Structure 1
């Protein structure tokens, strides 16, 4: 039996705008679904995704997201196709009991992605392997308290690049 590799889950937030972005970086950000400033996606930290994150490192910030923060993002910023809010009733229709259950399942690696994009057949009595019709990105507000610097990396006092679990504090300031 082959063991399933569980990669860490990362929140990736685009902090820099569109006009001066080189084409190759813009294409990478497009693949990550980060098409506008202050949008966030939650990705699985596989080697190919980490390569894309490293390539766009000067336009984004990223780190490990925890289940509580992800549940709060789903509650407050989750949107369905048609720009409707993600509701508890929608989750329950697909077999999930709460936002926290979805967040824990994703962070623990039980499900591989949050968004399906379309209706996914679920067996009777089982929950869906993701949230159908959920948009694969979250639109956030600019952070309360502002940013330090969009030209420096987090390790030297700026806001760009890898910030580890401290990404959760930034996300809470942006909700």
Structure 2
């Protein structure tokens, strides 16, 4: 027991805690082996059984003494070791300068992108509200015009007269024949009317020049006066923009605003209104639209080589052009 305690200080001096734990563990086992060695030697005397029990108790007491003594010393030395433990130095990790600059640049770019996005969303919200307001104003205008027409017809009927509406300022021309046996002059006229392919359709303002052009190509086209609903359906369903010579689908109002914003046309409703009313900027609006590519009419044509007034297809249909176009959209 004493030999163990004398050597214990030398074994644990200036050593880590885990070595101190191992030293105490080994010392404890040596103390137990020493106690049982004494117990075994003393069992050889006379009165063997009685001495065995007595020495066994002494051996157990000796084991407990060794254990208690070692635990107390371990606690004292462990606390001493922990008090003498040097605090760890906190080493500041330096970030490379290029990483610092990159992080600052990325942060600045993210802030700029977020700012632009916020401004864009706010501007889009404002413009969307303006577009809805404009569309509602146009709708009220159309309803007022329809009501005025109905009132005029009723008034004329009441007075026993007739009411003749104003002639349409707009013609919708549809090409119904191909390129076989075409006169070069006719072919050039069809190109001027934007009717380069079969079943192409285009809007034409009514004036003396356009009437002469239509008469020149009349056996190859059919035309009439489109309604507001047909004009709207054509632009919404078959409308494409001509931008830098390319055919671009009209998917949002930004496309229209970028090309026609300078003439006051900012949305598709503005475009429809300009075509329907044949406004001051009809030329720019009609030039912006690519020729409408329609399909063959459901049910087919009757007779392309005869005029419409002779139970055929080509020629002037007036308001009946709407029925044909509805079958071709």
TM-score, normalised to structure 1, is: 0.78
Q: Which runs of 4+ in 1 moved over 6 A?
A: none
Structure 1 equivalent of residue 273 of structure 2: 104
Q: Could you list the runs of 5+ residues in structure 2 that have no partner in the other structure?
A: 1-166
Contact 1:140–1:174 (Cα < 8 Å) also in 2:
yes
Contact 1:86–1:134 (Cα < 8 Å) also in 2:
no
Rg larger in 1 or in 2?
2
Q: Which of 13, 16, 21 matches 2:177?
A: 16
Contact 1:11–1:42 (Cα < 8 Å) also in 2:
yes
C-alpha separation between the residues in 2 aligned to 1:79 and 1:91? 10
Structure 1 equivalent of residue 249 of structure 2: 85
C-alpha separation between the residues in 2 aligned to 1:174 and 1:102? 22
Relative to its length, the structure with more strand (as a share) is 1
Structure 2 equivalent of residue 56 of structure 1: 217
Q: Does 1:145 align with 2:299?
A: yes
CA displacement at 1:133 relative to structure 2: 4.5
Q: Which of 205, 209, 230 matches 1:69?
A: 230
SS at match of 1:41: strand
Q: Which of 36, 40, 43 matches 2:201?
A: 40
Q: Could you list the runs of 5+ residues in structure 1 that have no partner in the other structure?
A: 1-5, 117-129
CA displacement at 1:92 relative to structure 2: 5.4
C-alpha separation between the residues in 2 aligned to 1:51 and 1:140? 25
Q: Which of 92, 115, 134 matches 2:289?
A: 134
Cα distance per residue 1:91-126 (max 9 Å; x no partner): 355343444x43233222224426x3xxxxxxxxxx
Q: Using CA pairs under 8 Å that are at least 6 residues apart, name the structure with larger relative contact order, 1 or 2.
A: 1
SS at match of 2:174: strand
Bigger CA drift: 105-114 or 36-45? 105-114
Q: Does 1:170 align with 2:324?
A: yes
Number of residues of Structure 1 aligned to a counterpart in Structure 2:
154
Cα distance per residue 1:3-26 (max 9 Å; x no partner): xxx971000011000011111211
